[in-house]
Amino acid sequence: MMYNPDNPIIVQSDKTVLLEVNNPLYPEARDLLARFAELDKSPEYVHTYRITPLSLWNAAAAGMTAEEILEGLDRFSKYPLPDNVRVDIIDAIARYGRLKLVRGEDGRELHLISDDPLLILEVSRHKRLKPYILRQLDERTLVVDPARRGHIKQALVRIGYPAEDLAGYVEGAPLHFQLRERTLSGQPFRLRHYQQAAVDIFWAGGTERGGSGVIVMPCGAGKTMVGIGVMEKVQANTLILTTGSVAARQWKRELLDKTTLTEDQIGEYSGQKKEIRPVTIATYQILTTRKRGTKGKGLPLEEEFPHFGLFNENDWGLIIYDEVHLLPAPVFRITAEIQARRRLGLTATLVREDGLETDVFSLIGPKKYDVPWKDLEKEGWIAPAVCYEIRVRMPDDWRMLYATAERREKYRIAATNPVKMRIIDALVEHHKGDRILIIGMYLDQLEKVATLFNAPLITGKTKIREREKLFEQFRRGEIDLLVLSKVGNFSIDLPDANVAIQISGTFGSRQEEAQRLGRILRPKKDGGQAYFYTIVSRDSVDQEYSANRQLFLTEQGYEYRILYDSEIPEALEKREAP
């Protein structure tokens, strides 16, 4: 490739990629990179991506080839690709699926196979895999422990050769139902084209290539509908794992509204109820409740976590992990042991702040479908949104408090800067008549906001019945402002919310930023705009964390417009572009 100074990308030999923002080709190049690289930094003018084995394996599992990646990089690069990067991309993509897990002829044995005898020799001698090998059948086949299928896949990912799992799945107890053509209220219903595409790619015609994997879609794009569509394909008893009781009941409402399943076929397994039905909806919280005094004693999983018995309580044909980016570590442990069940992960982002993305890949499955947020915005399936970061000064006494605080206290001080209250007041006044969510993490700060606006405050301590009542009042328009703690991060169906004001967050959590924007992305009846504001204290860790929080949404094509507190009165004069 010739030198082309007009192109926006520089690929470096350490597999970082620099992308110029102020370039006409920036949107196209960004959309390409998002498919196989991870955004690492996004300052004003040059964004930095990293090409990693995991990002390439997910691209390969989603059907992307090395040729597509290299052609795209060549098309947008200023300089020729370093040879080592070209070779490493080809090698990483080729590694996915060079090893395969299949059933033996008797249907009971589990075989690890490859067309490359030397690769079989290499992995057979690796200390990570050795504990799971029963014997070698021939130069291309290892017989491995079928009860350790998940552990084998974890080991192979760590060795650097992710296996394609073609060992198949148990069918599960049959459950016959259909999708409705009209909802209970009489509205026409069918899956949107991208939802149907996600279902079909996951199902893969019912072959061994379908049955485990992750679907990535924006909040508000209908991930629940994808889950329901997959259930309809599988036609078997299903266990659905959710983030909480509110989410569990939303799943139940959608299942009753969109399918022929009946009330007595759907059970809730949570802190409030312990129903086991053909479709059982459980919460992560109840599943990870430990038996007192068992932590750190090395007990079997079901002794340490008594509710894990639910995984074997019924003959499940499908397990759905809602918001899989929040999956608690103990649930990974039990998932490693139930690899014969079909598994569907649903999420808006594969980003995990705990670094367990490889466990999602190996135990739930690779990314099977990922639709860019901006594509759905253009088609009208999610609301167009503008994002603002408003930087405010700290008063002198607050700055002194911040300057003399220990590192662990600095964020709380910066996040609860009292000047933020004036900005919140101005934004609420500006958006009078809109449907507003104010979201934060510090309860004393949220209580002050709720008092200022005489608005309901919903926290983890708010009873489920009270939460549902307030959410319903918001949906009906009886309430137009809600103050939410971290319970507002996910799985709340408030389609008319069109303004979110974020006043504090979980440090630098990219997944939380995506979830909070997602609260206002459901398409509006009037086709209107959504507004997402983040208020941060200038020159503090609050601003640093905000920069990290924005990475995922920047990768999806959202631009954060920076405003300063001194600009707010003038900026708010124009409603369309404050």
Residue 1 predicted with pLDDT over 70: no
- 463: Cβ contacts below 8 Å, ≥ 6 apart: none
**What average pLDDT does the segment 6-35 reach?**
93
CATH number of 380-571: 3.40.50.300
CA 555, CA 41: separation in Å to the nearest integer? 10
Domain segments of the chain as ranges: 9-95, 100-165, 193-371, 380-571
Rounded to 5 degrees, what are φ and ψ at 232? Answer: -65, -35
Task: Supply the pLDDT for residue 578.
Answer: 39
Residue 242 predicted with pLDDT over 80: yes
Q: Which residue shows structure tokens 């999806």?
A: 556
CA 24, CA 9: separation in Å to the nearest integer? 12
- 549: Cβ contacts below 8 Å, ≥ 6 apart: 505, 508, 509, 510, 512, 513, 534
Task: Supply the pLDDT for residue 511.
Answer: 81
CA 406, CA 409: separation in Å to the nearest integer? 5
Q: Which residue shows structure tokens 């790619």?
A: 201
Q: Given CA atoms 316, 317, 323, 327 in this order, what sign does their dihedral have?
A: positive
Task: Supply the pLDDT for residue 12.
Answer: 95
CA dihedral 34, 40, 42, 45 (to 10 degrees): -90
CA 553, CA 274: separation in Å to the nearest integer? 38
Tell how strand 38-41 and strand 46-50 pair up: antiparallel
Residue 296 predicted with pLDDT over 80: no
pLDDT digits (tens, 9 = 90+) for 152-190: 999 999 999 999 999 999 999 999 999 999 999 999 999
Q: What does each C-alpha distance from 198 to 191, 193, 230, 370 come to in angstroms? A: 10, 9, 9, 8
Two tokens, residue 2 = 């010739």
Residue 303 predicted with pLDDT over 80: no
CA 227, CA 469: separation in Å to the nearest integer? 26
CA 155, CA 163: separation in Å to the nearest integer? 10
CA dihedral 10, 11, 13, 14 (to 10 degrees): 100
Task: Supply the pLDDT for residue 524.
Answer: 81
Residue 99 DSSP SS3? coil
Q: Which residue shows structure tokens 């709340």?
A: 492
What confidence category does residue 576 fall into, taking pLDDT thresholds of 50, 70 and 90? Answer: very low
Q: Given CA atoms 241, 221, 61, 83 in this order, what sign does their dihedral have?
A: negative
Residue 109 DSSP SS3? coil
**What average pLDDT does the segment 325-336 reach?**
87
Residue 453 predicted with pLDDT over 90: yes
Q: Please, is 254 exposed, middle or buried when counting C-beta atoms within 10 Å of its C-beta (0-12, 13-18, 19+)?
A: middle
Q: Which residue would you say has higher pLDDT here, 118 or 43?
A: 118
CA 128, CA 263: separation in Å to the nearest integer? 47
pLDDT digits (tens, 9 = 90+) for 478-504: 999 999 998 777 667 787 899 999 999
Q: What does each C-alpha distance from 419 to 331, 389, 398, 552, 562 come to in angstroms? A: 42, 15, 10, 28, 17
Task: Supply the pLDDT for residue 577.
Answer: 42
pLDDT digits (tens, 9 = 90+) for 497-532: 999 999 998 776 888 888 888 888 888 877 788 999
The secondary structure element, H or E, covering residue 342 is strand 342-347
Q: Which residue shows structure tokens 């507003």?
A: 436
CATH topology of domain 100-165: Alpha-Beta Plaits (3.30.70)
CA 78, CA 58: separation in Å to the nearest integer? 26
CA 577 to chain centre: 29
CATH topology of domain 193-371: Rossmann fold (3.40.50)
Q: Given CA atoms 255, 260, 261, 263 in this order, what sign does their dihedral have?
A: positive
Angle between helices 541-549 and 510-518 (to 10 degrees): 70
Two tokens, residue 318 = 């499908």
**What average pLDDT does the segment 269-274 reach?**
86
Task: Supply the pLDDT for residue 80.
Answer: 93
Task: Supply the pLDDT for residue 486.
Answer: 84
Of these ranges, 306-315, 327-336, 535-544, the one predicted with the greatest mean pLDDT is 535-544
Rounded to 5 degrees, what are φ and ψ at 66? Answer: -60, -35
Residue 382 predicted with pLDDT over 80: yes
DSSP secondary structure, 301-327, as one string: HHHHSGGGGGGGTS--SEEEETTGGG-
Say if residues 341 and 317 touch (Cβ distance below 8 Å).
yes
Q: What does each C-alpha distance from 15 to 30, 51, 93 come to in angstroms? A: 16, 5, 15
Two tokens, residue 428 = 């609420």
What confidence category does residue 569 fall into, taking pLDDT thresholds of 50, 70 and 90? Answer: low
Task: Let me know if the fold of 100-165 is the same as that of 193-371.
Answer: no
Q: Which residues on neighbouring strands pair with residue 259, listed in sequence order?
A: 179
Two tokens, residue 203 = 């199902």
